[in-house]
Chains A and B, each alone.
Chain A
Amino acid sequence: NAGVMQNPRHLVRRRGQEARLRCSPMKGHSHVYWYRQLPEEGLKFMVYLQKENIIDESGMPKERFSAEFPKEGPSILRIQQVVRGDSAAYFCASSHPTGELFFGEGSRLTVL
């Protein structure tokens, strides 16, 4: 079984550009979570989605960030007008409703 697939693994953007990160959950998993990890810090929850629904977006910045998990295709985390402070590793995880999380390898965003 393929694990959680994230792409791109590395992304470089200039300030003001858009970053789009993709995540395909494990087969059979309908719950997707996005976390952000800053250097030397822990994981901070951003958003929890099920197919076509945002369940909890309490960790998402109010502006510039959005997420979706369409009926077909991967989950997308979109960051508009990136700033240097957005530079981080963004991890996607999937799970069954009450089980452990399975993480992707992360997408590392660098904003120049």
Chain B
Amino acid sequence: AQSVAQPEDQVNVAEGNPLTVKCTYSVSGNPYLFWYVQYPNRGLQFLLKYITGDNLVKGSYGFEAEFNKSQTSFHLKKPSALVSDSALYFCAVRDGSNAGKSTFGDGTTLTVKP
């Protein structure tokens, strides 16, 4: 079984401040980890992924995420938030041992205020 927890329903930050959106996961095999963003009435867009290699991965729009195996976490970060980053963010995990389904967290709504 695999699962994802996003402990915060909502994250509010001021424009220009750093942001963090938290994610922890559980998977029996090798974790493949993903972040996606969803704007209103749209599909999800891929931001970044961790498969193997460096624990710090960089993705689209200046986002990055750090894989921490001991804490089973994959928090999304950005050094300086923009108002246009306001959206719904989903963390997802897949068992890398097989080409199976991705399991998503419940999502975190990020609001960046001017």
Contact = CB atoms under 8 A, between A and B. Distances in A.
A85 interface: no
Contact of A103 (B43, B49, B51): B43
25 contacts: A4-B43, A33-B102, A35-B104, A41-B106, A42-B107, A43-B44, A43-B90, A45-B101, A45-B103, A48-B100, A55-B100, A56-B100, A59-B101, A91-B43, A93-B44, A98-B94, A98-B96, A98-B99, A101-B34, A101-B36, A101-B44, A101-B46, A103-B36, A103-B45, A105-B43
A43 B104 contact: yes
Given A41-B106, A100-B49, 20 more contacts: A4-B43, A43-B44, A43-B104, A45-B103, A48-B100, A55-B100, A56-B100, A91-B43, A91-B44, A98-B32, A98-B96, A99-B49, A100-B46, A101-B34, A101-B92, A101-B102, A103-B43, A103-B44, A105-B42, A106-B41
